[in-house]
Amino acid sequence: MARDPILVVIFLRGGADGLALVSPSSDPDLIAARPEDLRVAREGDRAGRTIRQDIADVDFRFHSAAGPLADLYDAGDLSLIHASGLPEATRSHFDAEARIERGLFGAALQPGDPSGWIGRWLQVAVPEGPMPALAVGTMRPDSLLGAEAAVAETLGDLMLAQGNWLAPALRARLLEGFGNHGPLVKPVTELIGLSDMIGSRLWSAEAGEMRPYLPSVPYPEGNRVGQSLMTVAQTIKEDLGLRVATVDVPGWDTHIAQAGQFAALTGGLSQAVMAFWRDLGPSQQDVSVVVMSEFGRRLRSNSAGGTDHGRGNVMMVLGPQARGGRMVGAWPGLANDVLAEGADLAVVTDYRAVLAELLRGHMGLADPGAVFPGLATTPLGLWG
């Protein structure tokens, strides 16, 4: 059955180290700037997987813990966009996340505008269905501002009552309580309808509990990213009208003792993404995934065995619709005279250009300017 295209946005909160995730391992400036444990090895047990690419004469490699991502890249399903990020410089997590999720800069930023980039897409696309947007977690990210979205860690969290026996009374109380508040009638009615739909599909009256989701492949145990992506997969398979989902992955602010933390985070992310992708099965044709972070890390390591806030980073796009198995964009290098402020990988690809191509090429949005007003970039060639 044909399904409307779906976009999954994975946000690595804290500023992931793109120079370690997708590393220019042979670059002499990187080798000089970081100790061995903060670099991706080119031989031995810690060697990272080679990345076939034609944008620079550099031996790029995935981090050794990112084997599943390397598999997706080699299979032609994953694209990489390095040296991407915010066109405006900031080293503040709060400011960078807010700017990235709002997607508005300069003259396009109107005082008091409460919208995020996904929220504006939802306003323009006006997708139908009971649940077009889902933020997996306990908070709605700023990218969804300006539009309605469900916020839940599991589909069961969206049920207003555990079992149909309570639903009629609760429904009556809700409608009576909010019936005199015009703006609230529609969202409350929609919430009740969504709760009823989920309950009718997932609630087992005999067992008195939610029927467990049975993925087609196992997800890594104890992996929070995997649990979140499993909720996304279940929502897609239940055909609840999902068009966009967000998943936050915290913990990437690696100022201290980065090597072990980063390997664990990268391994968990890679395994979770692979399990999600395999679990989708035939639905892969309908789904694209973008992985991003608010900024990268500095080229030079600090004295605490970590790296501090930087600028340019790597974005990843997963989906068979794109021309995968490629690194696109441009690589500025790591020589001192091309570093941003003499310290960071420069941003040469505006992150909005990647998102705009996703919205146009995958989501079918005719004019990405409706989501990113004033954006003028050269197409990266992710599609076509």
Position 185 confidence tier, pLDDT thresholds 50, 70, 90:
low
What is the model's pLDDT at position 165? Answer: 44
143 vs 9: CA distance, rounded Å: 10
Neighbouring CB atoms inside 10 A of 376's CB total 8
Strand (E) positions, the chain? 6-12, 22-24, 60-62, 78-85, 133-136, 150-152, 203-204, 209-210, 244-249, 287-293, 313-318, 326-328, 349-350
- Using an 8 Å Cβ cutoff, are 255 and 306 in contact? yes
Tens digits of residue pLDDT in 271-330: 999 999 999 999 999 999 999 999 999 999 999 999 999 999 999 999 987 889 999 999
Q: Token digits for 194?
A: 């969504």
| Coil, strand or helix at 100 | helix
277 vs 87: CA distance, rounded Å: 31
**pLDDT at residue 188 tops 90:** no
Which of these, 317, 315, 314, 309, lies nearest to 277 by C-alpha position?
Answer: 317
| % of the chain at pLDDT higher than 70 | 89
Which of these, 334, 139, 381, lies nearest to 247 by C-alpha position?
Answer: 139
Tens digits of residue pLDDT in 231-271: 999 999 999 999 999 999 999 999 999 999 999 999 999 99
Angle of the 258-280 helix axis to the 67-74 helix axis, nearest 10: 50
Q: Token digits for 276?
A: 């999600």
From the centroid of its chain, how far is CA 104?
Answer: 19
Q: Token digits for 77?
A: 């399903």
Please state, rounded to an integer, the average pLDDT across all residues of the chain: 91
9 vs 248: CA distance, rounded Å: 8
**Residues 6-156+243-370, CATH architecture:** 3-Layer(aba) Sandwich (3.40)
What is the model's pLDDT at position 239? Answer: 92
Tens digits of residue pLDDT in 37-89: 999 999 998 899 999 999 999 999 999 999 999 999 999 999 999 999 999 88
Mean pLDDT of 208-236: 93
Q: Token digits for 245?
A: 């989902």
Give alpha helix (H) positions in 103-219.
Answer: 117-125, 167-178, 182-202
Neighbouring CB atoms inside 10 A of 271's CB total 20
